[in-house]
Amino acid sequence: FFPGRDVQLWRPVAYSPSVFRESRRPHWLGVVARRKPRLTLAQATFDMERIARSLERQYPETNEKMGIRIEPLQRSLAHEARPSLLLLTGASALLFILVCANIANLQLGRALARAPEMAIRHALGARRGRLVRQLLIESLVLATIGGGLGLALAVLVTATLVRLAGAYIPVFATVEVDRSVLLCTVLLTLASPLLFGLLPAMTTSRSRSGRLNERGPAGSRRAASIRRALVAVEVALSIVLVVGSMLFLRSLVQLAQVDPGFTPDRVAAVKITLPPAQYPTPQAQLAAFTEIDRRIRNQPGVQAVAASSSVALRGSSWTFDLTVEGRAPLDGLEHGIRHASITADYFRTMGIRLLQGRMFDERDGSNPQRTLIVNDSFARKVFRGENPIGKRVRFGPPEVPGRPLVEVVGVVADERQDAMDRPAEPLAYEPIAQKVQNPLTFVMRTGLEPSAVVATARRQVALVDKDLALTSVATLQAVIDESLRDYRFRTLLLTSFATMALLLAGLGTYGVVAHLISQRSRELAIRQALGARSTELVRLVISQGLGPVAAGTVAGLGTAALITSFIESLLFGVRAVDPTAYAVAAALLACIGVAACAVPAWRATRADSWVLLRES
């Protein structure tokens, strides 16, 4: 219903009443309506279903199994984007929990160092609740600073994200940091101290005055167990995000290898619309389009030029009902057959292969016998294994008599019509001389930069009619890139989330191992004094430090298998349980875990063991 955000001018559009008087089959039409104030959605749905059932009884040939669905406009417009938006929301939630777990880990380490301070406060009469409240307030200050910085960063990067998203964001949506975003930020800022600050506060406040003379902080073993558990949680969440990013990355790779059915290199496309007032008849429109084609073709640098009412990946084909001569109406073609009017050089210009029969030539259009070229999907779905060459078909509803028969003279390879991740639909091509359509998209292959040939085309079109404008100007490669933009955007965001998750998991593991080494410094010094080599000590620490990493990896792989099953519909050419994605995620976390354990362990072996023994 709605165009893009860059619309600057609106004008009324009308369809010829004859389109609807001849047939009851244009089911592609939709209606936007505003409900009366007291009419509920359920009541409106009931009324429309009653009308649909009545039409089905009156016109079973055209309205069988045709219902009327009512849904709120916002939900309808966001229908395609909804799964992806839910995916990104879920990924953001996982990253938020992971950040909270990481900060809780750091806060717990800091709390262990402050245990003597808390014990002194308790000895001086401070109640445990007061100590917990103080620590939570400190966590709230930390969360407030982080929330403010995050909000400022969101304001800075929102415009960039919208530009990267392109058509991915519904056209009706205004993406900005508004009141709802501010409210969400405030709520998360207030809630996050409970997620990452409560556990360290409760642990620290357990310190008692009687433990002041102990060598280590009170509850250090219990705190160490909690910290290892938090590392396992961080690793598990990181695995989920890394697996998700890998699945979308592999989907993007699979899409990039899909054959679009045409050769996009150095091909530019421009749409030209003839005003009906100046070009009221098909003959006038055909003459204008033919002259534009001739002028552009004769320009230097233009290797080939053609025009079509529908160009690949633009999804703008008209659809018509179809019957095959001598056969009953076809099943499985409820949405009709796509149709395009083209000039003779269209397939050569686009680089679309001929599979059977012949291309259009000078015979087509002037011959009383109308001709047709179909794509491979048309041949397989309509003729089902038979040779389509020489077969004749009729466009239009079966109940409307007098439609001419059109002979199939060729079969060409499929070209992707809607998107790179959608299969080609049955498509029929007719010479423009047989069926003139307006507007047309001109495609121009050049040995120069496509922008140069677009400028040339603009000048030549102005010589035909200075009031004609070129719209939807793009190269075919840019059209392909636009079709992949959704996948690129999702992959970029999830990869960013996964990278941050890996960094946080590494920091968490490093902190736990560093604390473990500080607790066992005397033991390590004794081992070193008795002749243990540095590599043996490093191996010992790594083997013990990798315990939570291994546990988190196993838990994360299982969680990822469960969660990714819900996003399989968003993937392309990849199963939700893809062995490569899971293996890469596990390997990445293993490498990060080893590095996070090895660095503090190696630093510990560099210390003088005799100094450590004297200090202890």
Q: Write out pLDDT tens, residues 136-184.
A: 888 888 889 988 898 888 888 877 777 776 555 555 556 778 888 889 8
229 and 548 Cβ atoms separated by less than 8 Å? yes
Which tokens sit at 567?
């996003």
pLDDT at 26 over 80: no
User: Region 359-386: what's the mean pLDDT?
Assistant: 88
Residue range of the domain that includes 107: 80-212
Gap between the Cα atoms of 469 and 453, Å rounded: 15
Report if residue 4 sits inside a domain: no
Distances 309 to 147, 338, 423, 431, 432 between C-alpha atoms, Å: 52, 11, 20, 11, 9
As a residue count, the chain comes to 616
Which tokens sit at 303?
């290797």
Exposed/middle/buried for residue 184 (C-beta within 10 Å: 0-12, 13-18, 19+): exposed
Report if residue 6 sits inside a domain: no
- Number of domains comprising the chain: 4
Nearest to 102 by CA among 511, 499, 547: 511
Same domain flag for 370 and 307: yes
pLDDT at 534 over 60: yes
Report if residue 580 sits inside a domain: yes
Report if residue 426 sits inside a domain: yes
What is the β-pairing status of strands 318-320 and 337-342?
antiparallel
Same domain flag for 303 and 237: no
Same domain flag for 558 and 604: yes
312 and 417 Cβ atoms separated by less than 8 Å? yes
pLDDT number for residue 298: 92
Gap between the Cα atoms of 370 and 390, Å rounded: 12
User: Region 529-557: what's the mean pLDDT?
Assistant: 80
Q: Rounding to the nearest 10 degrees, give the CA dihedral for residues 203, 500, 193, 179.
A: -170
User: Region 484-508: what's the mean pLDDT?
Assistant: 88
For 396-428, what is each residue's pLDDT tens digit? 766 666 778 899 999 999 999 888 888 888 999
pLDDT number for residue 316: 62
Task: Return the minimum-mean-pLDDT range out of 197-211, 212-226, 288-302.
Answer: 212-226
Nearest to 268 by CA among 472, 413, 484: 472
Nearest to 105 by CA among 11, 176, 200: 200
User: Region 519-546: what's the mean pLDDT?
Assistant: 71
Distances 432 to 200, 341, 342 between C-alpha atoms, Å: 75, 5, 5
For 39-87, what is each residue's pLDDT tens digit? 898 999 999 999 989 988 888 877 777 888 888 887 777 776 777 778 8
Gap between the Cα atoms of 310 and 3, Å rounded: 18
Same domain flag for 296 and 442: yes
Same domain flag for 325 and 294: yes
Same domain flag for 106 and 38: no
pLDDT number for residue 217: 44
pLDDT at 207 over 80: no
Same domain flag for 320 and 383: yes
Report if residue 370 sits inside a domain: yes
Please enumerate in sequence order all residues whose Cβ is within 8 A of that of 446, keeping only pairs 6 or more positions apart, or say none: 266, 267, 268, 301, 302, 303, 452, 453
Instruction: For the chain, give the mean pLDDT.
Output: 82
Same domain flag for 171 and 93: yes
Angle in degrees, 0-180, between the axes of helices 485-519 and 128-165, rounded to the nearest 10? 150
pLDDT number for residue 260: 92
Same domain flag for 402 and 535: no
pLDDT number for residue 64: 75
Report if residue 287 sits inside a domain: yes
pLDDT at 608 over 80: no
Gap between the Cα atoms of 614 and 497, Å rounded: 46
pLDDT number for residue 216: 47
261 and 415 Cβ atoms separated by less than 8 Å? yes
Please enumerate in sequence order all residues whose Cβ is within 8 A of that of 382, keeping only pairs 6 or more positions apart, or say none: 322, 324, 330, 333, 337, 374, 388, 393, 426
389 and 403 Cβ atoms separated by less than 8 Å? no
SS3 of residue 356 by DSSP: strand
For 316-350, what is each residue's pLDDT tens digit? 666 777 888 877 666 656 557 888 999 999 999 99
Same domain flag for 406 and 295: yes
φ, ψ of residue 394 to 5 degrees: the values are -130, 125
Report if residue 234 sits inside a domain: yes
pLDDT number for residue 3: 55
For 453-475, what is each residue's pLDDT tens digit? 999 999 999 999 998 989 889 99
Same domain flag for 324 and 458: yes
Gap between the Cα atoms of 238 and 240, Å rounded: 5
Phi-psi region of 271 (alpha: psi -120 to 50; beta: other; left: phi over 0): beta
Tell me if the bond preceding 439 is cis, omega within 30° of 0: yes
* Range picked from 97-101, 198-202, 333-337, 593-597 for highest mean pLDDT: 97-101
Angle in degrees, 0-180, between the axes of helices 485-519 and 534-564, rounded to the nearest 10? 140
Same domain flag for 256 and 280: no
- The better pLDDT of the pair 209, 552 is held by 552
pLDDT at 395 over 90: no
**pLDDT-derived band at 215, boundaries 50, 70, 90:** very low
Q: Of 413, 433, 468, which residue is a domain's last?
A: 468
Report if residue 266 sits inside a domain: no
- The better pLDDT of the pair 205, 99 is held by 99
pLDDT number for residue 115: 72
User: Region 521-536: what's the mean pLDDT?
Assistant: 69
User: Region 369-385: what's the mean pLDDT?
Assistant: 91
Nearest to 373 by CA among 365, 312, 402, 303: 365
pLDDT at 353 over 90: yes
How far apart are the two ends of the chain, measured CA to CA in Å?
A: 76
The DSSP 8-state label assigned to residue 166 in this structure reads G
For 570-595, what is each residue's pLDDT tens digit? 899 899 999 999 999 999 999 998 88
**pLDDT-derived band at 109, boundaries 50, 70, 90:** confident
119 and 207 Cβ atoms separated by less than 8 Å? yes
